[in-house]
């Protein structure tokens, strides 16, 4: 599979990464992702590696450690392990699902727990999951820098940070990687985050290229109407009018491009994300091995100028950017 450099780290990542968010489903008190089958999760990770994917994205928050344990189980006994990236900063709460905590003591506790669950001596990359609370940002980032110096993590990164918050981190130590959400219907990163990263050479690994199925080509109005009340997408702006109609029209435009190339709608949507110069890799999160059949072709798909023009012409107002 095609690889790209991760910014200035010297590491090369396959352009698709294996995401494990859904693999922690059902393990949190307020989870609404639906059940996940652990055997299928392990098989899906191994299928990703068979396809040549060389890195896995996970987080302590995904099932509060469950996804990390699944990753460790899938990799157990392998002679050549892929890179495993994880995140910290969301911890269980006694009054709700989680609380944001990025103090030095909390991050160190999380790191030791992640090392144990992942059955490793060093984390390939650790990211602060969210920059909350903002007043603890410098303490949290300094802690990651110290952990890197101590040899517990190889690279440091941030997820869901603004450009201004990234700049505050860079005053302390360079950022190795960022993880913003990015898709055809979530383009906020184009305004400031990507330009900042491109200016100083930070690599991006993006998440939700299909906006949780919305851009897969399989989401219909009838399927949206049938979403159970507990599903987080029920009532979300992207899944309600007027944006739902705009998004479904966008999917129709993607389908035209997909048919032209003999690809799936999902592959075109992911390839659109990968067109951005600073995007090293896009995270995909299938729950079952067979779901890769609709995704993996994105790694080799090169969209033409006419393809991009056709897609851009149908972008909905939900992007927040001019058409």
In the block, which residue shows the tokens 């602060």? 128
The DSSP result for 258-295, as a single string, is HHHHT--HHHHHHHHHHTSTTEEEEEE--SSGGGGGGT
Token code pair at residue 54: 């060389």
Catalytic entry in 62, 182, 196, 207: 62
Residue 291 burial class via C-beta count within 10 angstroms: exposed 0-12, middle 13-18, buried 19 and up: middle
Q: What angle do CA 28, 33, 36 make, to 5 degrees?
A: 80
Q: Residue 154 and residue 223: Cα distance in Å, rounded?
A: 43
Q: Residue 252 and residue 266: Cα distance in Å, rounded?
A: 12
Active-site residue 207, yes or no? no
Would you say 129 and 87 are in contact if contact means Cβ atoms under 8 Å apart? Answer: yes
Q: Residue 110 and residue 112: Cα distance in Å, rounded?
A: 6
Q: What is the DSSP letter of 134?
A: G
Angle, helix 104-118 to helix 137-150, in steps of 10 degrees: 50
Give me the half-sphere count of Cα atoms (radius 13 Å) on the Cβ side of residue 96: 5
The DSSP result for 191-232, as a single string, is TTHHHHHHHHT-EEEEB-TTTTTTTSS---HHHHHT--TTST
By DSSP bridging, strand 90-92 and strand 98-100 are antiparallel
Which candidate, 174, 159, 193, places its Cα nearest to that of 276? Answer: 193
Q: Which long-range contacts (CB under 8 A, 24 or more apart) does 221-229 make?
A: 221/248
Which residues are catalytically annotated? 62
């Amino acid at each position: 599979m095609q690889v790209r450099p991760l910014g200035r780290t010297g590491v090369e990542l396959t352009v698709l990464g294996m995401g494990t968010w859904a693999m922690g489903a059902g393990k949190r008190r307020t989870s609404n992702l639906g059940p996940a089958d652990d055997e299928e999760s392990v098989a899906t990770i191994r299928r990703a590696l068979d396809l040549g994917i060389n890195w896995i994205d996970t987080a302590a928050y995904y099932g509060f450690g469950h996804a990390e344990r699944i990753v460790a189980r899938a990799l157990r006994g392998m002679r050549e392990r892929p890179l495993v990236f994880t995140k910290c900063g969301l911890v269980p709460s006694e009054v709700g699902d989680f609380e944001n905590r990025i103090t030095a003591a909390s991050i160190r506790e999380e790191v030791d727990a992640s090392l144990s669950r992942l059955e490793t001596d060093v984390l390939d990359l650790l990211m602060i999951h969210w920059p909350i609370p903002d007043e603890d940002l410098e303490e949290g980032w300094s802690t990651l820098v110290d952990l890197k110096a101590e040899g517990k993590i190889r690279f440091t990164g941030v997820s869901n940070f603004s450009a201004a918050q990234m700049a505050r981190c860079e005053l302390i130590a360079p950022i190795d990687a960022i993880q913003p959400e990015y898709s055809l219907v979530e383009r906020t990163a184009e305004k400031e985050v990507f330009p900042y990263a491109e200016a100083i050479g930070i690599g991006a690994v993006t998440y939700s290229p299909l906006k949780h199925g919305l851009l897969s080509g399989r989401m219909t109005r009838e399927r949206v109407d049938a979403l159970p009340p507990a599903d987080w997408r029920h009532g979300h702006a992207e899944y309600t009018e007027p944006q739902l109609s705009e998004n479904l029209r966008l999917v129709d435009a993607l389908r035209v491009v997909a048919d032209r190339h003999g690809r799936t709608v999902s592959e075109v949507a992911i390839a659109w994300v990968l067109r951005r110069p600073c995007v090293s890799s896009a995270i995909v999160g299938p729950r079952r091995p067979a779901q890769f059949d609709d995704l993996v072709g994105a790694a080799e798909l090169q969209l033409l100028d006419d393809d991009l023009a056709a897609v851009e012409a149908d972008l909905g107002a939900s992007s927040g950017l001019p058409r």
